[in-house]
Amino acid sequence: MGERRGRRELSRTTVHGLATGAGSDLAVLGRALRDAADALLAVLLAPTCLACGRPLDTPLAGPICEPCWRAVVPLPPVVCDRCGDPLPALAGTGAAEPCRVCAAGLRHLTHSRAAGVYDGTLRVAIHALKYDDRRSLARRLSALMRQHAGELLVGADAVVPVPLHPARHRARGFNQAADLARHLGMPVADVLRRVRATAPQAELPAAARHANVCGAFAASKRMTTWRGTILVLVDDVSTTGATLDACAGALLDAGASEVRAITAARAVKSRS
């Protein structure tokens, strides 16, 4: 009896070892095939990086090269804790006061952060994602968002993509904010609707942007599931924060206990 049990255990151990070895061999083979495919594409198609124009060594990794991803410009070290707007540090402390608007209690958001400055690689990547249908870029952008703004996901219940108006969604075919949200490793709560078409924020002066999105968003019936929860808005770019704050107001009115926001990039005004 003991001898049979020993043979069974030895057999299971052997099978497990063979399976592990086979899995390792398949992984090595997969990497080798991917490297070969990268080399073949680099020679036959000679694709270039969208950001710098240099030839891509690993085209299968995406349309932007690793040096350009590493060159993403980070936000200044001191930002308003509430809206994420860069602020000058207090002398010698490395700390900053809340910005004037947040200090006056005029924001619905409790915290907002971005992966980096809307310039260089991030500007190119976001433009390609939105307007050139390069949706594979969403995964890498989301990884940067987790890296630089992931603390805002801690303790949150779900992420909420900022919605497009239905007409714009039909024209584009997808919502870039939803693509970013799906890769953040959190439940995605599709609980916002854009109930009024608005002019593109990028075409408006800063002073007109809050009025442009006022009343443009409303919570859907699905929001009943998320009442009393902490939600994190997700979008590609924040400039004045007007869109994010309008969305946060709609979610709070519908029962969210707290609303934060993370974006792939933030437009930063020069202080020179």
More confident residue, 75 or 34: 75
Domain co-membership, 32 together with 116: no
Structure tokens at 74: 């980070």
Is residue 88 assigned to a domain? no
Q: Are strands 217-219 and 192-194 parallel, antiparallel or unpaired?
A: antiparallel
Domain membership of residue 126 (yes or no) is yes
The model's confidence at residue 73, banded by pLDDT at 50, 70 and 90, is: very high
Predicted pLDDT of residue 9: 55
**Does a structural domain hold residue 58?**
no
Residue 222 pLDDT class (50, 70, 90 cuts): very high
Same domain, 118 and 10: no
pTM as predicted = 0.81
Considering the domain architecture, whether residues 31 and 160 belong to the same structural domain is answered as: no
152 shares its domain with 226 = yes
Q: Of 41, 62, 65, 70, whose CA–CA distance to 54 is shortest?
A: 65
227 and 121 in a common domain: yes
Number of structural domains in the chain: 2
> Does one domain contain both 22 and 151?
no
Query: In CATH, what number is assigned to the domain containing residue 198?
Result: 3.40.50
Residue 198 lies inside a defined structural domain of this protein: yes
Residues 115 and 186 in one domain: yes
Residues 123 and 258 both lie in one domain: yes
Residue 74 lies in a domain: no
Assign 189 to helix, strand or coil: coil
pLDDT over 50 at 91, yes or no:
no
Query: Is the domain of 140 the same as that of 261?
Result: yes
**Of 125, 165, 119, residue with least CA distance to 143:** 125
For residue 119, being part of any structural domain is answered with yes
Same domain, yes or no: 129 and 6: no
**255 secondary structure, DSSP code:** T
Are residues 132 and 246 both part of a single domain?
yes
203-208 CB contacts, 8 Å cutoff, 24+ apart: 206/239, 206/240
* Torsion region of 146: left, alpha or beta (phi above 0 gives left; psi -120 to 50 gives alpha): alpha
- Determine the structural domain holding residue 254 and report its residue range: 108-266
Question: Is 258 within a domain?
Answer: yes
Q: Is residue 136 in some structural domain?
A: yes
Q: Give the pLDDT band of residue 223 (cuts 50, 70, 90).
A: very high
pLDDT in tens, 165-197: 999 999 999 999 999 999 999 999 999 999 988
CA 37 to CA 57: how far, in whole Å? 11
Q: What is the pLDDT of residue 251?
A: 98
